[in-house]
Amino acid sequence: MVRPREFDRDEALDRAMRVFWAKGYAATSTEDLLGAMGIGRQSLYNAFGDKRTLYLEALEHYQQESTSAHLARLNAPASALEGLAALLIGLIEEDDAERALGCMGVGATCEFGATDPELVKLRSKAGPLLTRRVAERVAEGQARGEIDPTLNAEEAAGFILMSMEGLQLSARAGGEAEALRTLARFAIGRIKAH
C-alpha cells in the first residue's frame, strides 16, 4: 500500500522556488531546499526528482506566475501608454528584501546564459507571448496618438523588455525603489508621442 504524501506539493514547490530565486541554482544546496520545504530527502526525490528537475519546475512555476502578472498590469489600463508604464513600474517592489530578489528568470539567464538548452526552451515559452502583447500595446498607443508613430512597434517592444530586465537586474543589485521608478518613467518617456 502506497502512503499518501504528507505535505502540500504546491506549497513545497513555492518554497523551493523562493530559495532558488534568492540564491540561484548553484548556491542552493539540497539541505537549503529540505529546510525551506519542510520535507525529508526521500520525499523530495519521490515528489520532485533531483535538484535540477526541481529547479526547472520551480523556474517554470515562477515564469508562469510572473508572466501572468506582467500581462495583467500591461492589459489593465485602457491607455496603452499607461499599461506599458504599469508593466515597468509594477516590477518595483516597495519592500527592500522583495525588491532585492529581482527576477528569477533574469537570475537564471545571468547564471546559465544560453548554454543550457532546457532553460532556453523554458524562456522561449513565455518570452514571445509577452513580446507580442507589448508590441500590440505599442501599436495601440500609436493608433491613439499616445506613442511616437515613427517607432517600429517590435523594436519599441524590445526596448521595453530590455528595460524590464535592466530594472530587475538593478533591483537585484540593490537599486532603491524611487531610483528604479525614475528609470521606468524615463523609459516610458522615450516612446511617448511628443
Query: pTM for the full model?
Result: 0.90
Q: What is the pLDDT of residue 5?
A: 53
Q: What is the pLDDT along the chain (194 residues), one digit of tens a residue?
A: 445 457 899 999 999 999 999 999 999 999 999 999 999 999 999 999 999 999 999 999 999 999 999 999 999 999 999 999 999 999 999 999 999 999 999 999 999 999 999 999 998 887 899 999 999 999 999 999 999 999 999 999 999 999 999 999 999 999 999 999 999 999 999 999 98
What is the rounded CA–CA span in Å between residue 50 and residue 177?
37
How far the first Cα of the chain sits from its last, in Å, is 71
Whether the CB-CB separation of 110 and 21 falls below 8 Å is answered with no
37: burial class by Cβ within 10 Å (0-12, 13-18, 19+)? buried
Residue 135 Rama label (left phi>0; alpha psi -120 to 50; beta):
alpha
What is the rounded CA–CA span in Å between residue 65 and residue 50?
23
39-45 long-range CB contacts below 8 Å, 24 or more apart? 39/7, 39/12, 43/5, 43/6, 43/7
- Residue 192 forms beta bridges with which residues? 147
Taking CA atoms, 12 is separated from 54, 68, 122, 183, in Å, by: 10, 21, 21, 36
What is the rounded CA–CA span in Å between residue 181 and residue 89?
6
What is the rounded CA–CA span in Å between residue 75 and residue 84?
9
What is the rounded CA–CA span in Å between residue 73 and residue 83?
6
Q: What is the pLDDT of residue 2?
A: 47
Q: What is the pLDDT of residue 4?
A: 45
Task: Please provide the DSSP assignment of 85-117 as one string.
Answer: HHHHHTT--SSHHHHHT--HHHHHHHHHTT--H
Q: Which domains does the chain have, with CATH numbers?
A: 60-191 (1.10.357.10)
